[in-house]
Amino acid sequence: RDMKPENLLCMGTELVKIADFGLAREIRSRPPYTDYVSTRWYRAPEVLLHSTAYSAPIDLWAVGCIMAELYTFRPLFPGNSEIDQIFKICAILGTPDKRDWPEGYTLASNMNFKFPQFRRVPLSTLIPHATGDAINLMESMLAYNPSKRPTAQQSLRQPYFQVGGPNMRVTSLKREAASEHINARSIYPTIKNTLTLNVLPQSLNQHDYEVLLGNPAANSVLAPNNSVLAPN
């Protein structure tokens, strides 16, 4: 529940560890959850609107924000308050469609908030150096409706993580021997390994985990269960 650049520890180009589990909750836990979680710039819109029934998709929203920041070296939504944060999001993603995210409008109504009117700015305009596959991945993770954001597993199956050809797909449980392709895309490892940490099963033993990360000497941190740390 607190994914942000400062909590991603990068070791070289191939190993990323998630740190600071102070706000983490077990996957088995149930709502209501506190609505004061995650650093504002990476906070999902449902949390900004004080939802207490959010879930793992808030972490995928944060990863989308982090991925954009890796390309631009600046925060995508640098709000200076919760309300300003919503304005910053709408200024880029456009005003949410009520038909697409009715729950968001219910949350906004509960706090007497009215969404500002903005037209969507294509991420490809803001991040011109990103590939089409990268833009598609970020846009999917930055969906207003949390139910429409991909899971970590689904994100890893998107074309952005396919290297070397259609028969050579990098998944969360298998690292392919294509380091020359991966190294040529310096942003790729950080995003892939962050998502991979979110899908490794808790039952995976230390040796197998180290082999998966290609670093037998690493003392790695496992995320609980087999998905992103759910709202705590």
* Residues forming the active site: 2
The CA-based angle 70-71-74, given to 5 degrees, is 70
Residue count of the chain: 232
DSSP SS3 for 110: helix
Residue type, 96: P
Local structure of residue 84 (DSSP, 8 states): H
CA distance 206 to 88: 42
Q: Is the dihedral of CA 192, 195, 201, 202 positive or negative?
A: positive
The tokens for 158 are: 């998107």
Beta bridge partners of 15: 11
The tokens for 206 are: 């230390």
The tokens for 108 are: 């906004």
* Contact of 135 with 67, CB cutoff 8 Å: no
